[in-house]
Structure 1
Amino acid sequence: MIAWSTGWEVEYLRGRHVVSAMHVHLVFVTKYRTNVFNDAMPRRCEDIMIEVCDSFEAELREFNGEHDHVHLLVHYPPKMAVSKLVNSLKGVSSHYLRKEFTSRINPAITHGPFWSPSYLAASCGEAPPSIIKTYIEQQRRPT
């Protein structure tokens, strides 16, 4: 794939045989919705997740969170399985956050998973489905 197009307006990845603009909104919740994040943890979590996304040839576009969950907006190539990205994001961040913030994390979950096993993954397109449906309906079918 060629590097990301510049600007938020043009978000196409161009490859040899594909042009794509795929985004996913991810939400990860801490195990038992434990309030563990302080001021430093989200910054470190974001850095970890940027590195994981880079290894998948994806880009972390937005990151934020509260005391018990984080939100990510990821721009990713079509060859990538979102579930594999999620497993890596949660696994790698869990490992480093538990290691680096041991005193902050509840000892009951320090040795187990940091994140809840569930997550939200919502696709994000350039236009709402209703607009795309109308656009497709207006295409001229060959006669």
Structure 2
Amino acid sequence: MQLSTGSHCVFNLKAHLIFVVAYRRKVISSTILERLKEIFADLCQRDQVRFLECSGEEDHVHLLISYPPTICLSNPVRKLKTISSLKIRQEFFNQIRRMLWGKRFWTKSYCVISVGDGATTAIIERYIKNHRLN
């Protein structure tokens, strides 16, 4: 497990994010996916978030990010969705206009799943429960 350090903490926070295209439309081509990766990587770098991985299918993407505890996760998520939506709609308008309308590329919601390095929730619960003073 690789730990990062802040001014007053040591941490390893990772999140698996899933963004779904509005109306589950199948508009993400390999070209759009590559562009999304570039956009996400650039936005993460600006926001003290580490972009670790990204992949997807025609109607959704998966991202793996690492972030410091000083960041409220909903803030970078909002930026990732808003700016990527704007750029994709601008750059690929002719390709997606028949499938999507309005100003939305992503659904309003998203999925976030915390990611650990090897220890399951049950293992951590057991460790905390059994970690007592002698």
**TMscore range, shorter length:** over 0.9
Q: Which residue of structure 2 aligns with residue 132 of structure 1?
A: 124
Q: 1:63 is matched with which residue?
A: 54
Superposed CA deviations along residues 10-56 of structure 1, whole A, max 9, x for unmatched, are 2x111121000001110000000111011110000011001111111
What are structure 1's unaligned runs of at least 5 residues?
1-8
Match of 2:113 in 1: 122
Q: After TM superposition, list the pairs within 5 Å mapping 1:21-100 onto structure 2.
A: 21-100=12-91
2 CA distance for matches of 1:62 and 1:53? 11
Answer yes or no: is 1:141 the counterpart of 2:133.
yes
State the structure with bigger RCO (CA 8 A, min sep 6), 1 or 2: 2
Paired residue type of 2:112? A
Q: Distance in 1 between matches of 2:31 and 2:43?
A: 19
Instruction: Decide which moves more: 120-129 or 69-78.
Output: 120-129
Answer yes or no: is 1:20 the counterpart of 2:26: no
Structure 1 Cα separation of the partners of residues 34 and 88 of structure 2: 11
Give the secondary-structure state (helix, strand or coil) at the position aligned to 2:108: strand
8 Å Cα contact 1:102/1:110 also seen in 2 = no
**TM superposition outliers: structure 1 runs of 4+ over 2 Å:** 106-111
Which whole-Å deviations, capped at 9, do the CAs of 1:55-84 have from their partners, x for residues lacking one? Answer: 110111110000010000111110111111
| Structure 2, gaps ≥5 residues long | none
Q: How many residues align?
A: 133
Which residue number in structure 2 is paired with residue 4 of structure 1? none
Cα deviation, residue 128, structure 1? 1.1
**Overall identity of the aligned pairs, in %:** 35
How many angstroms does 1:110 deviate by? 4.6
Separation in 1, partners of 2:18, 2:109: 9
- Tell me if the contact between 2:48 and 2:68 (Cα under 8 Å) persists in the aligned partners: yes
Q: Shift of the alpha carbon at 1:111?
A: 3.6
* TM-score normalised by structure 2 residue count: 0.92
Q: RMSD in angstroms over aligned alpha carbons?
A: 1.4
* Per-residue deviation, 1:107: 4.3
